[in-house]
Structure 1
Amino acid sequence: MKTLYFDCIFGIAGDMALAALVDLGADLTYISEQLRKLPIDPFELEILPVNKRGIAAKKLSIHLESQGANQPYHFKLLDDHPHRKAADILHMIESSSLPNRVKQRSMAIFQVIAEAEAKIHGMDPREVHFHEVGAMDSIIDTIGVCLALEYLEIDEVYASPVPTGYGKMKMAHGLYPIPAPATAELLRGIPLADLPVEGELTTPTGAGILKALVKEFRPIGSIKMERIGYGAGNKDFDHPNVVRAILIQEVNDRKRESIYVLETQLDDMTGEALGFAMERLFQEGALDVYYTPVYMKKNRPGTLITVLVQPERADGCEEVLLTQTSTLGVRRSEWTRKILERRIVSVETTYGMVRVKQAIDGDRVLQQAPEYEDVAALARKYNLPFQEVYLEVLRESTP
C-alpha cells in the first residue's frame, strides 16, 4: 500500500497539487492522454521549473487552443455556456473511460464542492453552476490530480493542517472575504494552520481535494520519506508559495497516530455532574475519559479530568468541558500513541463457543481476552466460578 502526504504548510490549490505530483514522479504524458478522453476543449499541459523563495519547484501551465489559457470551458457538442452544472461534470466523468478509481475520486471532489456551493447559495447541489472551480483549468487540475495519484499507485492520502490566508478577493459574484465562502464550508472539520498572510492560500479546488481524498489530517509524525515533490502557485509571497507532496512509508504500519490530551481540574462538582459530563464527552467523540483524585489549593480534594481525543474532535470536547463543568480553562497538548489492531475471533472450547478479543501487531497476537458476556453465560450454564471458566477459555484459545 502506497501513502501520500500533502504538506500544506503554505496552502494548496489544484494546479499546485498536480504540479507537485508530477514533480514526485507522475507522468504528464499519461495524465494528458487520459484527460483527452473527455469531451472538453483541446489543451496542452506543460510543467515549468520555477524557484519560489529558494525552493526549486514545478509549475503547471495549461494552454487552451480555442480560448486561451485560464478561460471558462465548455463541453464539445454542447452549447457554449461559460459555466456548467455540477450534474454535467459528474455525468461527464461517470460516463468516461477513465480508470474506476480516478472516476470515483474525481466525482467525490466535485460532489463535495457542489454541496458546499449549494449550501452557500441555498440550492440543490445538482443545480449548482461552477464558476472559478468550473473553469476548464480547474477541471484539468482536479481530474489530473486523481490521474496522478493513480499513476503513482497511491492508496491513501494524508495531509497537514492547512492555512487559508485573509483579506478580500474579486470573484464571480463580487468582492468576497478570504477564505471564500465555499472554501470555508469545505474546510469545516479540517484543522487549520495559523499563517497570517494577506491573500488566498487555499482555493476551493484545493479545499475540495483535501475534503474528498484525505483520510486524516495530522502532523507528519513517525514516517520515512521516500520521495518529495514541490508544486508552485502563481503568486509570490514573502514565503515559498509551494505545496509538498511526500511519498511516505510509515513506521510500524501506521499504528502510531496523533491525539490531543485535554486536562482540567476542579473541586466544586458533584459525582452526578461529573458522570453527566463524562457521558457528554463520549457523545462528542472522546476516545477515553478518566478522573483522577488530586489535592488542589489549600489542600482541597479535587478531580483531574483527562480526555483523550482525535484532533478533529478536540474543539467539541473542549467546548463540553467549558460548558458542562465548572472549570475556568482547559489545557491542551498533542501526543502520539501506538495502537494495536483489534479483532474478534470465535473459539470452540470445552464449554462451548466463546468470542475472544485479540490485540495484534502484524502477525503477532500480543494480548487476548474472552468476552465477558460469553464467559458469564457459560459460568451460569455450568454453575461454575466465572474465573475458572475464564482461565480455561483463555488457555484453550492461546496459540
Structure 2
Amino acid sequence: MKTIYLDCISGISGDMTLSALIDLGADISYIRNELEKLPLDAFTMEIVPVIKQGISASYLQLDIEEPHHHHHDHDHHHHRKAADILQMIEQSTLPERVKDRSRLVFEHIAEAEGHIHGIPAADVHFHEVGAMDSIIDVIGVCLAFESLDAGRIIASPVPTGQGKIRMAHGLYPIPAPATAELLTGIPLASLDVEGELTTPTGAGFLKALADSFGSLPPLPLRKIGYGAGKKDFAHPNVLRVLFEEQDATEETVYTLECQVDDISGEALGSTMNRLFQGGALDVYYTPVYMKKNRPGTLLTVLCRQADKALLESILFRETTTFGVRSSQWERRILSRRFETLDTKYGPIAVKLGFEGGTLYQVSPEYADVEKASIHVDQPFVDVYAEIKHQAQQTYSS
C-alpha cells in the first residue's frame, strides 16, 4: 500500500497541494483530461518551476476563462452551491474513489461555512473561495492521489498563520472562521508568521482525507515533491509531500470481534465456514465468561479491508450479536512457497516461509506426514521432525 505524507511546514492550500502532488509524480495530463470531462468553464492548468527561499518547487498556474454573458451572475450560479457541486460529482464519470474523496472534502467545507453563516450546508455558496478555483483544486487533488495510487494519507501538525485577513464580509482574524472550524480535532503547529498559511480548502483536505496526524511513518521513502504557495514569506512557502511504499511483506489487516452467549456450537461451526468462504484470513473462537457468569464465545476474524464489510454482515446474519468491533493492525508476513520434497517415505509437501533470502519457517504437510507415519508404523512426531530437518537442509541454501 502506498502512503502519502503531507508535510505542512508552511500550512496548506488547494493549489499548493495540487502542485506538490504533481511535483511528486502525479500525471498532470490525466488530471487535466478528467477535469475537462466535467461541466466547468474552460481553463488552462500549467506547472511552473519557481524558487521559494532557496527551495525549487512547482507552482500551479490556473487560468479560468470567464464566459461573457449578460446574465453573468445567473450563469455562474449553478457552479456555486454546495448541493450542485455534489450533484455534479455524483453524475460524473470520475473514478469511484475520486468521487468519494471529493464529495467528502466539499461536504466538510460546506458544513463549516454553513455553521458559521447559520445556513444549511447544501445552500452554502462557494463565492469566498472562488468557486471554479476551489472545484478544480479539490477534484484535481483527489485525481492526483488516484494517479499516485495513494491508499493512506497522513499529515503533519499544521500552522495557520496569524493576523487579519480582508474577506467579502470585512476584516476577519486568521485562521479564517471556516478554516478554524475545519481544523477542530487536528493538531496545530506554531509558526510565527503574519498572514494566512492555511486556507479552508487546505483544511478541508486535512479534515476529510487524512487518516492520521503525526510524524513520518518509519517506511522506506521513495520520492519527495514540493508545491509552492502564492505568497512569499521569510521562510520557504512550500508544502512538502513524501511518498512511501510499504514492503510487500507489510500489510494492513483488520480484526473483527464480537462475543455471544446464546448460540449453539453447530451454528458457530457453520458461521466459521461461511466466514472463510467470505475471504477471512483467519477465524478463531475463544471461550469467555460473560455477564451473569454465562459461558460464551468470543469470535475473532482476521481480514483485509476489501472483505471487511461482507464479513461483518455475515457475523450479523449468522450470529445473535448486536455489534461488531473492528481494529486495524499492521502485520508483517513471510512470503510463502510450496515444494514437494523427496524423502525415504516418498514425496511430502512442505510449506516454506521466506523473507528476502532467509528461510524462517518449514512446515511439512500434516496429512502427508500422518500417512507416512502410519505406513511405516513410526510415531508422528519422529517422522515430522525428520522430514522438517531434511527440508531445512534442502531449502536453506
TM-score, normalised with respect to structure 1: 0.63
2:157 paired with 1:241: no
- Call closer, same or farther: CA 1:364–1:93 in 2, change over 3 Å: closer
| Correspondences of 1:117-266 after superposition (within 5 Å) | 117-250=113-246, 253=250
- Call closer, same or farther: CA 1:238–1:123 in 2, change over 3 Å: same
In the alignment, what sits opposite 1:59? Answer: 59
Distance of 2:166 and 2:77 partners within structure 1: 21
2:48 paired with 1:48: yes
The answer to whether the Cα contact below 8 Å between 1:112 and 1:211 also exists between their aligned partners in 2 is yes
- 1:20-41 per-residue CA deviation (whole Å, 9 max, x = no partner) reads 1101111111111111111111
In the alignment, what sits opposite 2:315? Answer: none
Q: Could you tell me which amino acid in structure 1 is paired with residue 212 of structure 2?
A: E
1:133 Cα offset (Å): 2.3
The answer to whether the Cα contact below 8 Å between 2:18 and 2:140 also exists between their aligned partners in 1 is yes
Q: Could you tell me which amino acid in structure 2 is paired with residue 120 of structure 1?
A: I
Distance of 1:250 and 1:193 partners within structure 2: 27
- Call closer, same or farther: CA 1:373–1:89 in 2, change over 3 Å: same
Bigger Rg, which one: 2
1:17 Cα offset (Å): 0.3
The answer to whether the Cα contact below 8 Å between 2:79 and 2:132 also exists between their aligned partners in 1 is no
Aligned residues: 276
Distance of 1:119 and 1:159 partners within structure 2: 25
Q: Could you tell me which amino acid in structure 1 is paired with residue 102 of structure 2?
A: S
1:148 Cα offset (Å): 0.6
1:81 Cα offset (Å): 3.8
- 1:88-145 per-residue CA deviation (whole Å, 9 max, x = no partner) reads 1111111111111111111110100000001101111111111232421121111100
Give ranges in structure 1 of 5+ residues lacking alignment: 69-73, 256-339, 356-362, 380-398
Distance of 2:170 and 2:258 partners within structure 1: 60
Distance of 1:143 and 1:183 partners within structure 2: 19
Distance of 2:285 and 2:107 partners within structure 1: 44
TM-score, normalised with respect to structure 2: 0.63
SS of the aligned residue for 2:122 comes to: helix
In the alignment, what sits opposite 1:370? Answer: 286
| Correspondences of 1:53-92 after superposition (within 5 Å) | 53-66=53-66, 79-81=75-77, 84-92=80-88
SS of the aligned residue for 2:226 comes to: strand
The answer to whether the Cα contact below 8 Å between 1:43 and 1:65 also exists between their aligned partners in 2 is yes
Distance of 1:111 and 1:155 partners within structure 2: 21
Distance of 1:36 and 1:12 partners within structure 2: 25
1:371 Cα offset (Å): 3.9
The answer to whether the Cα contact below 8 Å between 1:230 and 1:244 also exists between their aligned partners in 2 is yes
1:247 Cα offset (Å): 1.0
Q: Could you tell me which amino acid in structure 2 is paired with residue 155 of structure 1?
A: G
Distance of 1:118 and 1:206 partners within structure 2: 17
SS of the aligned residue for 1:158 comes to: strand
Q: Could you tell me which amino acid in structure 2 is paired with residue 198 of structure 1?
A: E
Distance of 1:182 and 1:33 partners within structure 2: 31
- 1:25-75 per-residue CA deviation (whole Å, 9 max, x = no partner) reads 11111111111111111111000001111111100001123369xxxxx89
In the alignment, what sits opposite 1:107? Answer: 103
The answer to whether the Cα contact below 8 Å between 2:157 and 2:188 also exists between their aligned partners in 1 is yes
1:249 Cα offset (Å): 2.7
Q: Could you tell me which amino acid in structure 2 is paired with residue 11 of structure 1?
A: G
SS of the aligned residue for 2:75 comes to: coil
| Correspondences of 1:346-361 after superposition (within 5 Å) | none
- Call closer, same or farther: CA 1:343–1:85 in 2, change over 3 Å: closer
Give ranges in structure 2 of 5+ residues lacking alignment: 270-279, 297-365, 367-397
SS of the aligned residue for 2:242 comes to: strand
| Correspondences of 1:273-284 after superposition (within 5 Å) | none
SS of the aligned residue for 2:235 comes to: coil
Distance of 1:49 and 1:39 partners within structure 2: 29
The answer to whether the Cα contact below 8 Å between 2:7 and 2:155 also exists between their aligned partners in 1 is yes
- 1:301-338 per-residue CA deviation (whole Å, 9 max, x = no partner) reads xxxxxxxxxxxxxxxxxxxxxxxxxxxxxxxxxxxxxx
Provide the aligned C-alpha RMSD in A: 3.2
